Structure 1
Amino acid sequence: MTKTVILGVIGSDAHVVGITILEQALEAAGFDVVNLGVQSSQEEFVEAAAANDAEAVLVSSLYGHAKQDCEGFHQRIADADIDATTYIGGNLAVGQDDFDETRSFFRQMGFNRVFDSETDPEEAIEALKADLDMHSTESEQEGQTVSV
């Protein structure tokens, strides 16, 4: 069964390369990806998740202002009665010195998983498969290749 994920760059951030690579890797792994692109608002994430009955919402931010851009994000998701796993990744805070503190902050905001900008797409995909309880057969695994 195909799982739908919403992917985008939140706020005023215009960094597109990372989500393009992630989109290709997610599609190669069998996900149905709705890519919102860059400079996406919280409302766009919520509307896309609701319209597509998404199982996961993946938020990217590289310009360091994710704390401000994500304030109230999970309340909007809850208000829309969306039951989706949420991830965030990138360079999430200006002057980010201790990623453990950054991870803790975003986990407290409600994100299920938090990744830094050095995370390999395969690591995030494996986490997503585990979180969404996706199991593939051995023959399906042999047929999957990811090229980015």
Structure 2
Amino acid sequence: MVVAVFGGSTNMTKTVILGVIGSDAHVVGITILEQAFEAAGFNVVNLGVQTSQDEFVDAATAHDAEAVLVSSLYGHAEQDCEGLHQEMQDADLEDVTTYIGGNLAVGQDDFDETRTLFREMGFDRVFDSKTDPEDAIEALRADLDVRPSETERESQTISA
């Protein structure tokens, strides 16, 4: 599937890198995200579970990615993501959009505090574990100035 880009006369697919960072081995969420983002027209490179920061950076560089989507469900995302944006900057990836989502902090009571923490770490958007994949897709489309294809717009109109 090809996604049209606002303001452009050609269609191009946006590449996103997806993975579970650190020692986290929760695979179900990223499998769902992979399928949802692919169905929405994105080219998804799924790094799987227990992905290091270097693997995210290397994949973003190798695939000329527009976005890096980090997942974490075991509550240690702060430690796992410490320094990630510096590594991305060192690799000339400062223009790559970064998202993180999941159960990001052990005992996470106030998600607004968690969101603020990860925004201060450099993430463009921060999602909790209850976020619908469609919400993340719509956010990424907005952040990358991507609009749905004509077929997707028609199906949304029909189902609305």
**Matching of residues 24-103 of structure 1 within 5 Å:** 24-82=35-93, 83-103=95-115
Describe the SS at the equivalent of 1:33.
Answer: strand
Runs of 4+ with deviation above 6 angstroms: none
Counterpart residue type for residue 58 of structure 2: E
- Could you tell me how far apart the structure 2 residues matched to 1:94 and 1:142 are? 42
Count of aligned pairs between the two proteins: 144
Unaligned runs of 5+ in 1: none
Identify the range of structure 1 (127-136 vs 8-17) with the bigger mean alpha-carbon deviation. 127-136
Identity %: 81
Unaligned runs of 5+ in 2: 1-11
Counterpart residue type for residue 143 of structure 2: D
- Could you tell me how far apart the structure 2 residues matched to 1:74 and 1:94 are? 22
Cα RMSD for the two superposed structures: 1.1
1:22 aligns with 2:19: no
| Greater C-alpha radius of gyration | 2
TM-score with structure 1 length normalisation?
Answer: 0.94
The aligned residue for residue 107 of structure 1 is: 119
